[in-house]
């Protein structure tokens, strides 16, 4: 890790958000924390053309090559709402925007994957920071050979556009869609999210915690966004998004 301070090269306004654009950062989630600490703005978004330490959920890496994806973070200043709802809030906002580009069916894989054609198009990383919460969104736009084999990019769905035009347009749409979705009640967000989930009530799933695989049947989404699952011994457990991932 270097100690070099990232420097933004452009600052724009989208709605009432201050959007800081970078060529490269370690991670937009990390950079937004740094800007927060400098009290730069309470309505902050950071977007970068590249991340050299992009972070995924559960300490995974998020491969973020140059000019290939949307890598952006939102600061929800002094957020007092339910954090478990945010992956769904961001997920349905992303899908609403993506549907404007392609007729393919987009899905949410609990809790934070954006799926199309059974492959991963994007992911959402929610982090608490002091009194606030950060929503980090990564969406693969233009195919890069470093993307994992399990991933897909928007250009593979016949969306052919110049990277920056596509990225900037998608970002703008997302800013408005996230603002709009933030006004919804949790109940409404969960109702919408249920329709997009890859795993529906009654489905058999495998999930992983601390490298151990468990089998269970989906019971449903609970009010705080956790997934209720009935284990083989009939015990019902509640999976929270910070600890688990679904294998299939």
Rounded Cα distance between 15 and 176, Å, is 8
- For ligand BTN, the binding residues (CB under 6 A) are 27-29, 51, 54-57, 60, 62, 71-73, 112-113, 123-125, 136-138
Residue nearer to ligand BTN on the CB measure, 62 or 110: 62
The number of residues making up the chain comes to 248
CB of 73 to ligand BTN, least distance (A): 5
User: What b/e readout covers 37-63, taking b as 16+ CB neighbours within 10 angstroms?
Assistant: eeeebebbbbbbbbbeebbbbeeeebb
- If the CB atoms of residues 217 and 245 are measured against ligand BTN, the closer one turns out to be 245
Minimum CB–partner distance for residue 164 and ligand BTN (Å): 17
Identity of the residue, 185 or 241, whose beta carbon is nearer to ligand BTN in the bound complex? 241
Least distance from C-beta 123 to ligand BTN, angstroms? 2
The least distance separating ligand BTN from the CB of residue 122, rounded to whole angstroms, comes to: 7
Bridge pairing between strands 212-221 and 204-209: antiparallel
Q: Least distance in Å: CB of 153 to ligand BTN?
A: 14
CA distance 151 to 17: 30
Judged by beta carbon, residue 125 or residue 190, the one nearer ligand BTN is 125
| Strand ranges of the sheet holding 245-246, from the earlier edge strand across to the other edge | 236-239, 227-231, 212-221, 204-209, 245-246
DSSP character string of 159-206: ----HHHHHHHHHHHHHHHHHHHTTS-HHHHHHHHHHHBSS-TT-EEE
Diameter over CA atoms, the chain: 56
Which one, 113 or 205, has the nearer CB to ligand BTN?
Answer: 113
């Amino acid at each position: 890790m270097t100690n070099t301070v990232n420097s933004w090269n452009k600052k724009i306004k989208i709605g009432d958000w201050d959007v800081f654009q970078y060529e490269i950062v370690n991670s937009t989630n990390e950079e937004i924390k740094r800007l927060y600490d400098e009290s730069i703005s309470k309505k902050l978004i950071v977007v970068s053309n590249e991340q050299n330490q992009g972070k995924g959920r559960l300490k995974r890496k998020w491969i973020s090559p140059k000019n290939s994806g949307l890598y952006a973070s939102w600061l929800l200043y002094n957020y007092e709402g339910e954090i478990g709802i945010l992956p769904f809030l961001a997920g349905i906002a992303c899908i609403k925007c993506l549907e404007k580009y392609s007729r393919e069916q987009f899905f949410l894989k609990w809790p934070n994957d954006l799926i199309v054609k059974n492959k991963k198009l994007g992911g959402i990383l929610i982090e608490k920071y002091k009194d606030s919460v950060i929503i980090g969104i990564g969406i693969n736009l233009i195919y890069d050979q470093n993307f994992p084999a399990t991933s897909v990019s928007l250009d593979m769905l016949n969306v052919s556009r110049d990277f920056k035009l596509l990225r900037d347009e998608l970002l703008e749409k997302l800013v408005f869609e996230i603002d709009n979705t933030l006004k919804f009640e949790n109940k409404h967000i969960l109702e919408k999210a249920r329709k997009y989930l890859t795993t529906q009530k009654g489905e058999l799933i495998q999930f992983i915690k601390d490298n151990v695989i468990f089998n269970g049947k989906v019971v449903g989404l609970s009010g705080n966004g956790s997934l209720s699952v009935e284990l083989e011994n009939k015990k019902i457990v509640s999976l929270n998004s910070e600890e688990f991932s679904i294998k299939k």
